[in-house]
Amino acid sequence: MERAYKKGRGFGPGIVELYHRELGGLSPRSFAHRVGASEDLVMRLGIYRKLDRHGGCVNTVSFNADGNILASGSDDRMVMLWDWDAGAVKLSFHSGHSNNVFQAKFMPYSDDRTIVTCAADGEVRYAKILESGNVDTKLLGQHEGRAHKLAIEPGSPHIFYSCGEDGLVQHFDLRTQSATKLFICRSFPDGSDYQPVVHLNAIAIDPRNPNYFAIAGRDEYARVYDIRKCNLDGSTECGHPINSFCPPHLIGNGHVGITGLAFSDQSELLSSYNYEHIYLFTKDRGLGPNPVIKSPKSDSTDSSKGSKTVSAESAEIADSQPGPQVYKGHSNCETVKGVNFLGPNCEYVASGSDCGRLFIWRKRDGKLLRAMDGDKYVVNCIEPHPYATVIASSGIENDVKIWTPNATEPAHPVNINELKPHVRRNEFGRVNLPENLIAQMVALHRRRASLRQDDGEETTSNADLVNLLLQFTVGEHDSPSDESGDGSDSPGDCIVN
């Protein structure tokens, strides 16, 4: 058989690997890894099932370690645990949050009974599933403003981190059920006394070395920190990164930010920029702990653009290395989108898009492989199964979509120029229910108070509040005969302000 394959008689490499496995020349684990990384499976991905029980858009999806249960959280403030294969809800409970749930994750080695959440109310909460089936929830920590993401320490049933729009990074230990405020992320010093708070959207832990974690938000840098430099009693200020990453052409660009981060198993760092592309950084492409040292006031550059001069050391590093791998084609302007790796060895990169599609690229060369319709409006979340070629995705619609390689024929190669834009209503931010309006106004008040405190400036514009009131009015008077047939509310909190 192998001789026939070598002579080109029609046997593919997958058949030969199956042949080797049957003869004992390839271990089941190696075979599963090779099959899981098969591009043919990626090209056959299609929607296997829709999980539709939430009453609002789904902002987070997460598999347990065994891969048989999926947790989801929504604008309805509910957390649901699914038997995704059967399409059935195993358990549904109120998160305890007063605003939209942004993340819900299982803690490792907890028998899937411990779940941590964060939300638009800024709270970080802990949910414990009791033997009776009831759920106890408890407040662990608080951010001033929205808390977008959590990061679980790999292999630990106790340790996780949170980040929020107040720039605060917190460390949690469930053994004491306590929170340690590590630091507030601020802009790199530029020679002036002004270091504004960086509003954080993303946090991720390096699986190869859990001492390292990365954060990113509303500036152009992804920052990597070492938890060993922090005293967990909160007695030290450890807000100094050990490295930072940014594509050379975006350094000094005050109009971009990062909405999603992910580490690969090889410690590569993936960063998704709003109004830009996705970039992959290796360790040797860092800019160092302090890439900016010179104030724009001393330059002739236009300071209104937020430009800064890069330090000579960082500029030399950026110039001496090839640029990071880039992944193009999607749109990331309207919401806080995540980004993720797919495959047993992180062979692929995946992201949602404003056009309602799920994009998949080959990691090594950035080739776009798939652009699959995943939502009427926007796809925000992409979550890979821990070991199978299965993906969960969610967005503005109220359901979760499960993707498996169920197509009989592989998809045709993607021509990005032939992708038609989705025709959809701009209903991000609609708030129909009075309690939702109140929750949004409270969150807005907290954010504005935080901005005044952190930046030392008075916010005089009431545009955000006016927009909320207008959205409430529009939501109440939307025509029920809208041809889209979707009467669901869309989240105002997803907008990147």
Q: What is the average pLDDT across 104-127? A: 97
**Contacts by 256-259, CB closer than 8 A, 24 or more apart:** 256/220, 257/201, 257/216, 257/217, 257/218, 257/219, 257/220, 257/496, 258/201, 258/202, 258/216, 258/217, 258/220, 258/221, 258/222, 259/201, 259/202, 259/332, 259/335, 259/336, 259/337, 259/338, 259/339, 259/496
CB 184 within 8 A of CB 195: no
- Give the least confident one: 34-38, 63-67, 270-274: 34-38
| Local confidence band at 440 (pLDDT 50, 70, 90 cut-offs) | low
- Give the least confident one: 135-144, 197-206, 223-232, 272-281: 223-232
d(CA 156, CA 109): 7
Q: What is the average pLDDT across 343-371? A: 97
Length of the chain: 497
Q: Which amino acid is at 130?
A: L
Both tokens of residue 361?
Answer: 């690229």
Q: What is the DSSP string of 70-134?
A: EEEEETTSEEEEEETTTTEEEEEEE-S-SS-EEEEEEPTTSTT-EEEEEETTSEEEEEEE-TTS-
> Mind listing the domains of the chain with CATH numbers?
39-418 (2.130.10.10), 434-494 (no CATH)
- Residue with more model confidence, 428 or 136: 136
Q: Which amino acid is at 257?
A: G
Both tokens of residue 284?
Answer: 């040797």
- Residue with more model confidence, 111 or 14: 111
Label each residue of 389-429 as H, E or C.
CCEEEEECCCCEEEEECCCCCCCCCCCHHHCCCCCCCCCCC
Q: Is the pLDDT of residue 306 over 80?
A: no
Q: Select from 477, 458, 390 the least CA-distant residue to 44.
A: 390
Q: What is the average pLDDT across 54-76? A: 97
| Local confidence band at 283 (pLDDT 50, 70, 90 cut-offs) | very high
| Local confidence band at 223 (pLDDT 50, 70, 90 cut-offs) | very high
In angstroms, how far is CA 348 from the centroid of its own chain? 16
Q: What is the average pLDDT across 64-92? A: 97
d(CA 166, CA 160): 18
State which H helix or E strand residue 205 sits in: strand 200-205
CB 222 within 8 A of CB 246: yes
Q: Is the pLDDT of residue 38 over 80?
A: yes
Percent helix, strand, coil in the chain, to 5, is 20, 35, 50
CB 293 within 8 A of CB 311: yes
Q: Name residue, tokens 């960086």.
A: 198
d(CA 453, CA 484): 43
Q: What is the DSSP string of 223-250?
A: EEEEGGGS-TTTTS-----SEEE--GGG
Both tokens of residue 427?
Answer: 């209903």
Q: Is the pLDDT of residue 443 over 90?
A: no
Based on the number of CB atoms within 10 Å of its own CB, is 324 exposed (0-12), middle (13-18) or buried (19 or more)? buried
Render pLDDT for 240-279 as a digit per residue (tens, 0 to 9): 899 999 999 999 998 999 999 999 999 999 999 999 999 9
Based on the number of CB atoms within 10 Å of its own CB, is 302 exposed (0-12), middle (13-18) or buried (19 or more)? exposed
pLDDT value of position 23: 72
What are the φ/ψ torsions at residue 74 (nearest 5 degrees)?
Answer: -145, 175
Burial 263-298, CB ≥16 within 10 A → b, else e: bbeeebbbbbbbebbbbbbeeebbbeeebbbbbbee
To the nearest whole percent, how much of the chain has pLDDT over 90? 64
What is the 8-class DSSP label of residue 284?
Answer: G
Q: Is the pLDDT of residue 483 over 50?
A: no
Q: At what angle do helices 28-36 and 13-22 cross, to 10 degrees?
A: 160
Q: At what angle do helices 463-476 and 434-455 cross, to 10 degrees?
A: 170
| Local confidence band at 14 (pLDDT 50, 70, 90 cut-offs) | low
Q: Is the pLDDT of residue 426 over 70?
A: no
| Local confidence band at 309 (pLDDT 50, 70, 90 cut-offs) | low
State whether the Cα torsion 96-102-104-107 is positive or negative: negative
d(CA 470, CA 191): 42
pLDDT value of position 418: 78
- Give the least confident one: 19-33, 120-134, 264-278, 459-473: 459-473
Render pLDDT for 384-410 as a digit per residue (tens, 0 to 9): 999 999 999 999 999 999 999 999 999
